[in-house]
Structure 1
Amino acid sequence: MRKLVASINMTLDGFCDHTSAIADDELHQHYTDLLLSGGDLLYGRITYQLMESYWPTVVKNPTGNKRTDDFAVIIENIPKIVFSRTLSNVNWKNVKLAKRSLEEEVLELKQSNNREDKDILVGSPSLIAALTKLNLFDEYQLCVHPVIAGQGLPLFKNINDSIVLKLAKTKTLGGGQIVLYYEPIKK
């Protein structure tokens, strides 16, 4: 069975805001390595549109920064599935719109072997919260940046039940970011 992994950047005070992240070379390398381990990348509409508006332009017009440009190519090529009630089409390479419910799509992906058992990565706050409520995650990879944003979108919005996690490992990046790898303790 494939592993479902939540992976996201967040501030020290728990907000998801890409403008607050420290997007240095080491962070781009970390996410390039993560995408290489992934077989599918799941997005909600807002995150999809944010990523789609930027990364294809970097593929067409490289920045000259190897790690940023490598990340752009990897994210361009990984299969992506977008969950949206409002989008009727998508334009980015290797993207499809989900046709069924989030739970149905994810359960089928977890059972499938079509991506060499590579992880299913989830990179949208809304999907992470929804899939947390469904207890479908096998791992959380939270990249905490040394920033206090003071406001923004909380990652675990509308989570009402307690969920106990076990720290599996940590990784410290040069910009002061700490990646926390947690596994849910199944009841």
Structure 2
Amino acid sequence: MRKIVLMMSMSLDGYSEGPDREIDWHRVDDELHRHFNDVLMEMGAFLSGRVTYELMADHWPTADADPQASAPVAEFARIWRNMPKVVFSRTLKHAGWHTTVVRDVVVEDILALKAQDGGDLALGGAGLTAEFLRHGLVDEFRVYVHPVLAGRGKRLFPEADGLTCLRLKDTRRFGNGVVLLHYERDAAGGR
């Protein structure tokens, strides 16, 4: 069965974006971008909320047409365009680039998606992450901690009523100071 893998960047103080949705403090250099590409090209689909989808759709469909684009950026543009995508939105009517619009997170539908053949499912966006966490649908966490204190903004992880236990799978330090913390849900530890 496929896994749902949260793959998000956050500041050391826990924010995925600043107060005005800025992410300009994310330190994505060629090394980190190549890593993202290596992980994401093996995925079966991208799952995102409307805001994340629209941010991606505003840039990535033509990013590789820019003559100044680095090789990792151009490669990711191709990955993003060709990857099946599911965007969860009650307001978006249609979307391009191999995208299916779904109105609500329905647990049975997500479990059916996980049961399909193919690579794991990459989950992105803090709002959608909160909904998936509330339903216990996240199997792995690939959190990229950037060496900044954002101070305020949108927290990656929402407040919760219970404990979610995780088991460390891997860590990696990148040359730019970003640290990957890769966890999986610890089924023996609850929630």
TM-score using structure 2 length: 0.90
Instruction: Give SS of 1:180's match.
Output: strand
Paired with 1:61 and 1:133, the residues of 2 have a C-alpha distance of 40
Q: Which runs of no fewer than 5 residues in structure 2 stay unpaired? A: 18-22
Paired with 1:149 and 1:128, the residues of 2 have a C-alpha distance of 20
Match of 1:145 in 2: 146
Match of 1:171 in 2: 172
Q: 1:61 aligns with which of 47, 66, 87?
A: 66
Match of 1:27 in 2: 32
**Counterparts in 2 of 1:64-143, with a 5 A limit?**
64-91=69-96, 93-98=97-102, 101-113=105-117, 115=118, 118-143=119-144
- Of 38-47 and 55-64, deviating more is 55-64
Paired with 1:8 and 1:100, the residues of 2 have a C-alpha distance of 21
Contact 2:90 2:104 in 1 (8 A): no
Q: CA deviation at 1:3?
A: 1.1
Paired with 1:102 and 1:173, the residues of 2 have a C-alpha distance of 36
Which string of whole-angstrom CA distances, capped at 9 and with x for unpartnered residues, describes residues 130-185 of structure 1?
A: 11111122110000000110011001124222111111110111110001001111
Query: How many residue pairs were aligned?
Result: 183
Instruction: Give SS of 1:182's match.
Output: strand
Q: CA deviation at 1:35?
A: 1.1
Instruction: Give SS of 1:19's match.
Output: coil
Q: CA deviation at 1:100?
A: 5.4
Paired with 1:36 and 1:185, the residues of 2 have a C-alpha distance of 26
- Of 54-63 and 20-29, deviating more is 54-63
Match of 2:20 in 1: none
The alignment status of 1:8 with 2:11, answered yes or no, reads: no
Instruction: Give SS of 1:161's match.
Output: coil
Q: 2:41 aligns with which of 23, 36, 44?
A: 36
Paired with 2:31 and 2:51, the residues of 1 have a C-alpha distance of 25
Q: Which runs of no fewer than 5 residues in structure 1 stay unpaired? A: none
TM-score using structure 1 length: 0.92
Percentage identity across aligned positions? 37
Instruction: Give SS of 1:67's match.
Output: helix
The residue type equivalent to 2:107 in the other structure is E
Contact 1:129 1:159 in 2 (8 A): no
Paired with 1:106 and 1:8, the residues of 2 have a C-alpha distance of 20
Contact 2:89 2:103 in 1 (8 A): no
Q: CA deviation at 1:99?
A: 5.2
Match of 1:185 in 2: 186
